[in-house]
């Protein structure tokens, strides 16, 4: 099987998943992004707002704050930033692509009750993100346990 045939199905799955992509190149002066990141860190437990030069204020939601924080870190490190627009409810194929699973593995998670499916047969993006985070935390805990066991064996 040639590489082109291996890549194309993934391109279609990801293409179906992503509705819009906006990319910003890294800034000429990363200090501005660093200042924004530091500001967001200092004020992470309190409301913040954008204020225009005319004095107009716009409250910033926690979700927008999180996007700004991730973008500021990447820009500070000299990376371009892409923001992907993804639908709130995904088909099984789109959900599998997002989680990096094949459709059969996703169906197993649904059958085991780990991921709820809506009456329209779609999965909520919030459920997929929560599942991914649970898997990430469990994986890190497992790695920490393996490291502790390795240290015990070494001593």
63-121 pLDDT, tens digit each: 899 999 999 999 999 999 988 788 899 999 999 988 989 999 999 999 999 999 999 99
**Radius of gyration of the chain from its Cα atoms, rounded to whole angstroms:** 20
Q: Specify the pLDDT at position 9.
A: 44
Question: Which residues lie closer than 8 Å to 69 by C-beta, 6 or more apart?
Answer: 37, 40, 41
Question: Does the predicted model carry a pTM greater than 0.75?
Answer: no
Q: Specify the pLDDT at position 14.
A: 54
Which candidate, 34, 18, 146, 138, places its Cα nearest to that of 87? 18
Please report the domains of the chain, with CATH numbers, ordered by start residue: 11-85 (no CATH), 87-154 (1.10.1660)
């Amino acid at each position: 099987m040639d590489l082109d045939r291996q890549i194309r199905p993934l391109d279609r799955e990801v293409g179906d998943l992503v509705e819009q992509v906006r990319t910003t190149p890294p800034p000429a002066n990363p200090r501005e992004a660093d200042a924004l990141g530091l500001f967001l860190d200092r004020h992470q437990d309190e409301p913040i707002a954008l204020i225009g030069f005319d004095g107009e204020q716009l409250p910033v939601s926690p979700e927008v704050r999180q996007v700004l924080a991730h973008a500021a870190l990447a820009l500070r490190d000299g990376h371009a930033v892409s923001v992907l627009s993804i639908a709130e409810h995904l088909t099984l194929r789109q959900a599998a692509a997002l989680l990096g699973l094949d459709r059969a593995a996703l169906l197993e998670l649904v059958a085991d009750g780990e991921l709820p499916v809506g009456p329209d047969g779609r999965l909520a993006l919030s459920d997929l993100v929560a599942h991914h985070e649970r898997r990430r935390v469990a994986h890190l805990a497992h790695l920490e346990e393996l490291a502790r066991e390795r240290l015990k064996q070494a001593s």
